Amino acid sequence: DAGITQSPRHKVTETGTPVTLRCHQTENHRYMYWYRQDPGHGLRLIHYSYGVKDTDKGEVSDGYSVSRSKTEDFLLTLESATSSQTSVYFCAITTGAFGGYTFGSGTRLTVV
Amino acid sequence: AQSVTQLDSQVPVFEEAPVELRCNYSSSVSVYLFWYVQYPNQGLQLLLKYLSGSTLVKGINGFEAEFNKSQTSFHLRKPSVHISDTAEYFCAVSGGGGSNYKLTFGKGTLLTVNP
């Protein structure tokens, strides 16, 4: 969807290095989410944001941090990447009011 | 707390056959239910949603789902599938604004439509 972009699309990194993934939206939506997708697990929520500088943990937040300093950007940081964090990461946005989510195209991260 | 169980991890069907993908949920609050579709190497796209009202919900691409509160189910159906329906389908539940519209997803059902 043109209103939400993720970068990079693909990344290979080494164990122990920090990594930052970016989600950028042009929709001015209040809510933003980071999920990871793994085979057999579906999508699991890592962190989410309900406004600028307002963030909270999801079900699989260990090893991840987030920041949202402006409405359009939501950053996900892996503080010290591990092989268990190899995954596809999706960002999603919503206005709330049950409009449903709009998803980004995903970032495929490989930790070697 | 909320959870979603998708009862089949894989569903193979032949083209033009009907299909049902099963989803059961649990929630301690009012629920809002969604089905998403993911085509290979793409993000997720909303198929349909149930918020309130009629328990039969129609979505895009000829799909429909029925909300059954007594059975805590929200099964997805299509009367005649096409090759292009091959994708992974995710059922999801939300507790609404009180939970910041967070979605809890099932593990997905891979629908494969064979000629």
Q: Name the average pLDDT for chain B.
A: 93
What mean pLDDT do residues A55-82 have? 96
Q: Given an 8 Å threshold on Cβ–Cβ distance, is B43 in contact with A103?
A: yes
Phi, psi torsion values for A56, nearest 5 degrees? -155, 165
Tell me the CA distances in angstroms from B19 to B9, B22, B38, one per residue in order.
Answer: 14, 10, 17
- Measured at the CA of A56, the angle between CA A24 and CA B28, to 5 degrees, comes to 115
Q: Which residues contact A39 (CB under 8 A, 6 or more apart)?
A: none
Phi, psi torsion values for B79, nearest 5 degrees? -70, -25
Residues of chain B found within 8 Å of residue A40, distances taken between Cβ atoms: 9, 107
pLDDT of amino acid B84: 96
Is residue A1 over pLDDT 80?
no
Token couple for A34 = 């980071």
Token couple for B73 = 């189910």
SS3 label, residue B84? helix
Q: Given an 8 Å threshold on Cβ–Cβ distance, is A103 in contact with B45?
A: yes
pLDDT tens digits for range A61-72: 999 999 999 999
